[in-house]
Amino acid sequence: MKIVNLDHMSANPLVPEVQEAIIAAMRGNYGNPSSQHRMGEKASEILENSRESVAGLINAAAPREVVFTSGGTESVNHAVKGLAWANADKGKHIVTSNIEHTSVIRSMRRLKMMGFQVTSIPVDEYGRVSPDDVARAIRDETILVSIMHSNNEIGTIQPIDEIAGITREKKVLFHVDAVDSVGVVPIDVQKLGVDALSFASNPFYGPTGMGGLYVRRGVKIWPLLEGGIQENNKRAGTENLIGIVGMGVAADLAIRDMESRIAHLTMLKQKLLKELPRYIDEYSINSHQQYSLPNLVSVSLKYIEGESIVLMLDDENIAVSTRSACASGSLRASHVLLSIGLSYADAQGTLVITFGADNSEEDIVRFLEALQGTVNTLRKLSPLYKKAV
């Protein structure tokens, strides 16, 4: 039985074009982009072609504003720590939000251990940050604001351009974690007006373990990985050339297919949201109606545990998730869901359903039917449910 993958957020498949590009790069044996001889020149050319493609995807003013990294987590660590360290002479205060990805949260925690101060601002019931709150949190010693573009658990999209207007006015650097947005929805770093932006290759069907960091020209940042002079002196280490090639091709495809992909994802999302009440009751949708990713639905089901649903659906060859894969294994309730006001019980009863280009309407129907059976079975066993009805 075919696996219905409704957990694209955890792992997107590599599209055939990306696979073929990686295979060709391996067979091509391109050498080291830093070498002085011909083998190196070829590698260097391929590297810079990919950089142009990726720069195009986010509309960077110049390809050299893109630094290739080993993924979204490295990009975020590099941005948050690297910007804080490099600008600490101006102050040691940072502003962020309560629903950031663990890579931001833990980087902030580390900076606190190193003498920085962090203000984390709350979000509303849909997970939106208020630009006014950001403005109020900025002090004379503030050097950096870091707010995510879209949330990886509820899909809510933040008013990044408005916040950027504030940070520019107050002359504070602005980093945006856009790992779940770049390649999925249009992102234009120049229009947004941000100073740094983290992203990863897998959300747009490129390889895992590959990412990028946009750093606007002139912004002071320390490298996280130091050594050789690769990546315009911003990120040392011999390049993951096959990964970079894959990311470049994936970026080209994302630019080409952005519109049709969004249309397809939106159709799937609408279908799920519309059909859901025909299959189950006593649930709530956690995302913002207007400002949210087209490929994600977060639904909280009363009286039951998300983990149990995931396991039972897995038996029916349907993959969904309770939260970001990065946080799985943790038994604590999601900080994102608690931040938007969910009770501990409702947070534990939450499913994150993420679509991809390979999903069909039939996948939605199979999921809904399986979910109905699973929810009925689990609620029959639930002491909370028995008490409630």
Q: Which residues does the annotation mark as catalytic? A: 326
Tell which positions 96-135 bind a copy of itself, by CB under 8 A.
101-107, 109-110
Look up residue 78 and give its two tokens. 């590099």
Q: Smallest gap, in angstroms, from Cβ of residue 190 to a copy of itself?
A: 27
Pairing state of beta strands 196-200 and 4-5? Answer: unpaired
357 binds a copy of itself (CB under 8 A): no
248 binds a copy of itself (CB under 8 A): no
Q: Which is nearer to a copy of itself, 45 or 281 (CB)?
A: 45
Pairing state of beta strands 173-177 and 117-121? Answer: unpaired
Residue from 190, 238, 266, 284 touching a copy of itself (CB under 8 A): that is 238
Q: Smallest gap, in angstroms, from Cβ of residue 23 to a copy of itself?
A: 6
Tell which positions 35-54 bind a copy of itself, by CB under 8 A.
35-40, 43
Q: Which is nearer to a copy of itself, 79 or 138 (CB)?
A: 79
Residue from 97, 292, 324, 339 touching a copy of itself (CB under 8 A): that is 324
Helix axes 102-113, 72-86, angle to 10 degrees: 30
How far is CA 125 from each of CA 288, 289, 350, rounded to the nearest angstrom?
A: 9, 12, 15
Q: Smallest gap, in angstroms, from Cβ of residue 100 to a copy of itself?
A: 10
Q: Smallest gap, in angstroms, from Cβ of residue 55 to a copy of itself?
A: 20
2 binds a copy of itself (CB under 8 A): no
Look up residue 292 and give its two tokens. 């949210």
- H helix and E strand count, the chain: 14, 12
CA distance 242 to 240: 6
Q: Smallest gap, in angstroms, from Cβ of residue 142 to a copy of itself?
A: 22
319 binds a copy of itself (CB under 8 A): yes
Taking residues 212 to 231 in sequence order and writing x for each that binds a copy of itself by CB under 8 A, - otherwise, the string is ----------x-xxxxxxx-
Torsional class of 102: left (φ above 0), alpha (ψ -120 to 50), beta (otherwise): alpha
Q: Which is nearer to a copy of itself, 265 or 313 (CB)?
A: 313
Look up residue 164 and give its two tokens. 């950027």
Query: Which residues are 150's β-sheet partners?
Result: 157
How far is CA 313 from each of CA 146, 318, 347, 357, rounded to the nearest angstrom?
A: 36, 5, 19, 21
Q: Smallest gap, in angstroms, from Cβ of residue 58 to a copy of itself?
A: 20
| Residues 201/210, Cβ–Cβ less than 8 Å | yes
Residue from 17, 32, 262, 385 touching a copy of itself (CB under 8 A): that is 32
**Residue 191 — φ and ψ, nearest 5°?**
-65, -40
Torsional class of 283: left (φ above 0), alpha (ψ -120 to 50), beta (otherwise): beta
Taking residues 143 to 182 in sequence order and writing x for each that binds a copy of itself by CB under 8 A, - otherwise, the string is ----------------------------------------
User: How many chain residues touch a copy of itself (CB under 8 A)?
Assistant: 80
326 binds a copy of itself (CB under 8 A): yes
Q: Which is nearer to a copy of itself, 133 or 307 (CB)?
A: 307
Taking residues 187 to 206 in sequence order and writing x for each that binds a copy of itself by CB under 8 A, - otherwise, the string is -------------x-x----
381 binds a copy of itself (CB under 8 A): no
How far is CA 356 from each of CA 95, 350, 359, 360, rounded to the nearest angstrom?
A: 33, 20, 6, 9
